């Protein structure tokens, strides 16, 4: 199938599909006219790539994980994939911890602002020189 059909079947833009190919995540053959052609198996591969991106993985990490799909019976590759996924999970945990710290700092500012607004609402407004 050509890139347009793969795009329709997966919901992924042709531009993204070309990017996946540039990153070594997806393979195609070329016609004599240079058009990309994909096998039906690539539909499932694109779905997997999308799930990996949705899990927060970069294309570099995805490229390191995909050999586990391509060579499922290789224990060494399975171990490398596990290590890569655990590193990603640790990175995400660190990002979450940082976001929680950032949210907590914002909460302190929000409380301060709330107190300030409450104080202002109890203070009579100045008359600017009017009796």
What are the tens digits of pLDDT across the range 29-54? 998 998 999 999 999 999 999 999 99
CATH of the domain at 45: 1.10.1660.10
* Residue 129 confidence (pLDDT): 60
Residue 92 within a domain: no
Q: Is the pLDDT of residue 110 over 60?
A: yes
Residue 63 contacts by C-beta under 8 Å, 6 or more apart in sequence? 23, 24, 25
pLDDT of amino acid 87: 93
Count of the separate structural domains present in the chain: 1
Residue 126 domain flag:
no
Q: Can you read off the two tokens belonging to residue 47?
A: 């779905």
Q: Flag whether 46 is in a domain.
A: yes
End-to-end CA distance of the chain: 83
Q: Is the pLDDT of residue 131 over 70?
A: no
CA distance 37 to 30: 6
- Residue 10 covered by a domain: yes
Instruction: Tell me if 46 sits within 8 A of 26, measured CB to CB.
Output: yes
Give residue 72's pLDDT.
Answer: 86
Q: Is residue 121 part of a domain?
A: no
Q: Residue 35: which of 12, 9, 49, 17 has the closest Cα?
A: 17
Rg of the chain in Å (alpha carbons)? 26
Q: Mean pLDDT across the stretch 73-83?
A: 92
The whole-chain average pLDDT of the chain stands at 92
Q: Is residue 103 part of a domain?
A: no
Q: Residue 25: give the domain boundaries.
A: 1-54
């Amino acid at each position: 199938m050509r890139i347009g059909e793969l795009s329709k079947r997966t919901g992924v833009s042709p531009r993204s599909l070309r990017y996946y190919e540039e990153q070594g995540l997806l393979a195609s053959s070329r016609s004599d006219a240079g058009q990309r052609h994909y096998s039906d198996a690539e539909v499932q591969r694109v779905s997997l790539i999308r799930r990996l991106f949705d899990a927060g993985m970069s294309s570099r990490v995805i490229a390191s994980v995909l050999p586990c799909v391509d060579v499922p019976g290789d224990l060494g590759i399975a171990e490398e994939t596990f290590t890569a996924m655990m590193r990603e999970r640790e990175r995400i945990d660190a990002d979450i911890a940082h976001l929680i710290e950032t949210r907590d700092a914002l909460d302190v500012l929000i409380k301060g602002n709330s107190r300030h607004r409450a104080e202002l609402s109890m203070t009579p407004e100045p008359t600017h020189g009017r009796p």
